[in-house]
Copies of this chain bind each other. A is one copy, B any other.
C-alpha cells in the first residue's frame, strides 16, 4: 500500500504542479489568462487516471465531457470567483448532466432534471464540475468503494467519502459533501484536508437528498482556509470577501468534552500539545466545560436523525425495501421507525435548548478547540469510523472547521477542529487561518 498522497496546505510556488494549486490560485490564473480551463482539468484528470484504480473516489466521471466543457468555457472567455476551478460533489447532489445515484441500487442510472442550488451557484461562478464523488448509501453508514488515499487498507471516513478522498489525494481542489453527524469533518480529518461545516441553514440544500433536515448541512473540502471562505461566498451567492486578520489575541476555549475518554492516547497528546502551542503563539487558551445537558446530546441526536430519516425515506422503504442495505435497515431505520413523534419532539427540544445554552459560552471565547475524530482513520473499509466527536457541534448548528495539522502514530492525517458561535462563520475563518499558521509549522 502506498502513501503517495501529496502534502497539503502550504502555499505552493508558482511552479507547483497544477494539481497542488489552491482554488484561489487556479481562479486567479484562469481569470488572468495564464492558465486555460482545459490545461487545468487535464492536470486533474491525469492525477485521477494515475490514482483512481486504488483510491476509487469517483462514482461518475466522464473525462471527455469535462474536457469539452472546459474547452467551451475557454472559447467563451470564462471569468468569476471560481473561474476554471474543478470541483467534485457527493453523489446525493443533483446534476442536470450526470447521474445521481445516492450510493443505492434504487437510484441506479437516475438522472435528475436540474442542478442542485449549490452546483448551479458554483457553475455560475465559473467552476467546472468534474464528476460525482462516492457517498455511503444515502449519506448514512453503509460504505461505498472508496479507500483512504494515505493508506488503502483504511476507511476514508464517511459519509462524504469520495469528496474527502478526492481532495485529500489532489484529484480536485474543491469538493462538496454534507454533514448530518460527522460526514464532512471526520473524513476531512482522515484524508488530510480542510473540512468545513457551516452554520445550519446558511448554504442552500435544494437538490441534495435530505437525510435529516433539522441537522443536515452542506460540507466543504479544500486545501486552505482561504479556499473554504471563497467557496462559501460563492455558495451564498456573494462576491468573495478576504478573510480578516484577528484584531486582538484569539480567545480559545479548549473543549475536551465528556467524550475525551474515547480519544486515542496519541490523539489526546496531540490535542494537548496544540492547545499549548496556540497559547505560546499568543492566544488566550482556557479550558471549557460544557453544561451537563450536553451529555444527553448523543442520544437526542440519534432520535432526531433516525426519526426524520425514517420518514424522509418512506417511498424507498415502501417500494424498495429489499434494495436497502442491512446496515441501514437494522440501525437508522430500525431506530427511526420505532421512535414516536413525541419522543422525537422531546429530543428535538433538547437540541434546541443546547443551542441556546451554547451561546453564552461564546461570550468568553472566539472559538473552541476540540478533536474532530478519535484518531487516525481506522483499518478496514466496512465501517467509516467513530462519529461521536462531531455530534455536539452538528446538533447545536454551530460552524466547524478541521485543519489538517497532525500526523498520527502511523503517519496518517489527523485534524484539529475549531468551532465558532452560530452565524460567526467569518470569525471561524479568521481564527482558523491564524491557528493553521501556528500549528502547521
CA–CA, A439 to B229, complex, Å?
56
Interface string of A392-407 (1 = CB under 8 A from B): 0000000000000000
Contact of A345 with B237 at beta-carbon distance under 8 Å, contacts A204-B308, A315-B114, A315-B117 already known: no
CA–CA, A348 to B200, complex, Å?
12
Q: Which residue of B lies closest to A355 (CB)?
A: B352
A201 contacts across to B, CB distance below 8 A: 213-214, 348
Q: Which residue of B lies closest to A199 (CB)?
A: B345
Chain A interface size, under 10 / 10 to 19 / 20 to 34 / 35 or more:
35 or more
Contact of A423 with B314 at beta-carbon distance under 8 Å, contacts A213-B201, A213-B204, A341-B236 already known: no
Distance between A266 CB and nearest chain B CB, rounded to angstroms: 39
Copies in the complex: 2
Contact of A206 with B237 at beta-carbon distance under 8 Å, contacts A123-B318, A318-B124 already known: no
Q: Which residue of B lies closest to A423 (CB)?
A: B345
A316 and B213: CB pair below 8 A?
Answer: no
Contact of A314 with B120 at beta-carbon distance under 8 Å, contacts A237-B341, A308-B204 already known: yes
Interface string of A328-353 (1 = CB under 8 A from B): 00000000010011000100110000
Distance between A137 CB and nearest chain B CB, rounded to angstroms: 16
CA–CA, A120 to B319, complex, Å?
9
Contact of A311 with B213 at beta-carbon distance under 8 Å, contacts A201-B348, A318-B124, A348-B201 already known: no
Whether A43 is near chain B, meaning CB under 8 Å from some CB there, is: no
Distance between A204 CB and nearest chain B CB, rounded to angstroms: 5
Contact partner of A117 among B110, B205, B314, B319, CB < 8 A?
B314
B423 and A315: CB pair below 8 A?
Answer: no
Whether A310 is near chain B, meaning CB under 8 Å from some CB there, is: yes
Distance between A421 CB and nearest chain B CB, rounded to angstroms: 12
A314 and B237: CB pair below 8 A?
Answer: yes
Q: Which residue of B lies closest to A349 (CB)?
A: B423
Whether A410 is near chain B, meaning CB under 8 Å from some CB there, is: no
Q: Which residue of B lies closest to A317 (CB)?
A: B120
A204 contacts across to B, CB distance below 8 A: 210, 213, 308, 311-312
Whether A244 is near chain B, meaning CB under 8 Å from some CB there, is: no
Whether A238 is near chain B, meaning CB under 8 Å from some CB there, is: yes
Whether A152 is near chain B, meaning CB under 8 Å from some CB there, is: no
Interface string of A221-240 (1 = CB under 8 A from B): 00000000000010011100
Contact partner of A210 among B107, B206, B214, B345, CB < 8 A?
B206
Query: Can you list 30 pairs linking A and B with CB atoms under 8 Å apart?
Result: A96-B319, A107-B113, A110-B113, A114-B315, A115-B314, A115-B315, A116-B315, A117-B315, A120-B314, A120-B315, A120-B318, A123-B318, A124-B318, A201-B213, A201-B348, A204-B213, A204-B308, A204-B312, A205-B210, A205-B213, A206-B210, A206-B213, A206-B312, A233-B341, A236-B311, A237-B311, A237-B341, A238-B340, A345-B423, A349-B423
Binding site for B on A (CB under 8 A): 96, 107, 110, 113-117, 119-121, 123-124, 201-202, 204-207, 210, 213-214, 233, 236-238, 308, 310-319, 337, 340-341, 345, 348-349, 423
Question: Besides A121-B311, A204-B308, A238-B340, 15 other CB < 8 A contacts?
Answer: A110-B113, A115-B315, A117-B313, A120-B314, A121-B314, A124-B314, A201-B213, A201-B214, A201-B348, A202-B345, A233-B341, A236-B311, A237-B314, A237-B341, A238-B341
